[in-house]
Amino acid sequence: MTRFLQIYDSLSYPQRNSGPPACAPRIGKARSEAYSRPSDSYRVRSRVRHATRASPPLMHTALLARIDAALSVRAPLIAQLAAEETDAYRLFHGSVEGEAGLTIDRYGSALLAQTFHRSLEADAFAAIQAFYAEAFPGLPLILNDRSPANSRIVNALTPEQIEIAQQAREFRELGVRYRFQARHEGQDPWLFLDLRAGRRRVMQEAAGKSVLNVFAYTCGIGIAAARAGARHVVNVDFSESSLAVGKDNARLNDLPIRVRFVKSDAFAALRQLSGLGQPKMVRGKRMPPFPELEPHQFDLVFLDPPRYARSPFGVVDLVKDYPALLKPALLSTAEGGTLICCNNVAQVKRDDWIDQLQRSAAKAGRPIREVEWIEPESDFPSPDGNPPLKIALLRV
């Protein structure tokens, strides 16, 4: 325990105001493979006994042991991340660590538990709270129960809890500062932690490059690219409120360039940038207004669409039709440039997906020359080697 207390510095940050957005949850389906447990079982057992002393329900001992094992196994990663100026990571990834539907994350000075598909009993949550109160003294744990089918947060909080949950906070990832609020008008946290691997890779690639971040959400990729020395960054998303958080994120960082935020449908933006063009009338119907963009090819394009979204401009469907996005994204990428594609649908198999990308790239006349997989980092373990979030870096 002493070791953890040394590692987990709690940080307090200034307060700011909030904004909304929405994005599909990224949790994998429960895996059948057992998660390998750390061998240091004595320390695990002793810490669990201690954590549960104040909260009687012995029936939660197994759950706490899993949470504790997850914390122990992350010790090297957390130490590495602290050295990299990162204080946000997943502490418990229930789908593969023994409690499907439960995730627990640290975002700087707060912890966030989320439940999907089924809620957590009050005494189980109390036991988890007692555990983290000891592991991370001073960091509140907020619960967002998202168990209904639409994944919307349903649990009411007391006025004191609301104040803590709505407190505007900041955290750091790879030296970049981001906003966090456990509760805001949207459902998802403002930064998806499984995409840290993507942001890390973009930061390695970005210096001197022009970068297009499509489906930008709160613009984490774009802000990280700008921070790492990109010469030009454009973020595209149709959600005003998500872009507003992105603008706040940009302001938090001492960025060397002025980052662009374009509120647009992704299809309309990509078709224009790629040179394919976006007609104002389609099949006799006037399209909603969209910002006009000059054709432009970028050195690095990042594409991270939601699982499914329908708009007047097209249908995003990561299971049935990735190529609808791939073609204009490829044509918006400079010859010799890099396109990073994400697919967060767990049931889509990596090999099938890359075959599909390769075939449609060849058909579009922009064959993929090289593929590199970017693996989620070890706080998102994937014992079956098929992580729900697939990130493919394509040299094109």
Ligand X SMILES: C[S@@+](CC[C@H](N)C(=O)[O-])C[C@H]1O[C@@H](n2cnc3c(N)ncnc32)[C@H](O)[C@@H]1O
Residues of the shown chain interacting with ligand X in the complex, contacts defined by CB under 6 A: 21, 23, 192, 195, 215-217, 220-221, 237-239, 242, 265-266, 304, 306, 309, 311, 316
Helix (H) or strand (E) holding 217, with range, is: none
Q: How many CB atoms lie within 10 A of CB 17?
A: 11
State the nearest-atom distance from the C-beta of 212 to ligand X, in Å: 12
CB of 7 to ligand X, least distance (A): 26
b/e per residue 294-305 (b: at least 16 CB within 10 A): eeebbbbbbbbb
**Which residues fall within 8 angstroms of residue 285, CB to CB, at 6 or more apart?**
none
Spatial contact of 39 and 45, defined as CB atoms under 8 Å apart: no
Quick one: 72 or 187, whose CB is closer to ligand X?
187
Q: Residue 215 Cβ, how far from ligand X at the closest point, in Å?
A: 4
Indicate the residue among 87 and 188 with the shorter CB distance to ligand X. Answer: 188
Smallest gap from Cβ 4 to ligand X, in A, equals: 28
Give dist(CA 319, CA 24) in Å, integer. 14
9 vs 185, beta carbon nearer ligand X = 185
Q: How far is the CB of 69 from ligand X (least distance, A)?
A: 29
Burial zone of 15 (CB within 10 Å; 0-12 exposed, 13-18 middle, 19+ buried): exposed
Tokens standing for residue 115: 């439940």
Distance of CA 244 to the CA centre of its chain: 17
* Cα dihedral 211, 348, 344, 152 sign: positive
| Alpha helices, H only, 196-348 | 196-205, 220-227, 240-252, 266-274, 323-331
Q: Do 202 and 374 meet the contact criterion of CB atoms below 8 Å apart?
A: no
**Nearest distance from residue 299's CB to ligand X, in Å?**
18
Name which of 8 and 192 has its Cβ closer to ligand X.
192
Q: 308: Cβ–Cβ under 8 A, 6 or more apart, which residues?
A: 24, 315, 316, 317, 318, 319
CB of 324 to ligand X, least distance (A): 11
For the bound state, the minimum distance from the C-beta of residue 99 to ligand X, rounded and expressed in Å, comes to: 24
Q: How far is the CB of 217 from ligand X (least distance, A)?
A: 4
Closest by CA to 69, choosing from 48, 89, 90, 44, is: 44
210 vs 344, which CB is nearer to ligand X? 344
C-alpha dihedral sign at 24, 324, 366, 388: positive
Q: Give whichever of 157 and 309 is closer to ligand X, judged by the CB atom.
A: 309
Alpha carbons 343 and 155: distance in angstroms, whole number: 30
**Complex with ligand X: residue 113 or 301, whichever CB lies closer:** 301
Residue closer to ligand X, measured from CB, 72 or 144: 144
Q: Tokens 């932690």 correspond to what residue?
A: 193
Closer to ligand X by CB, 75 or 309: give it. 309
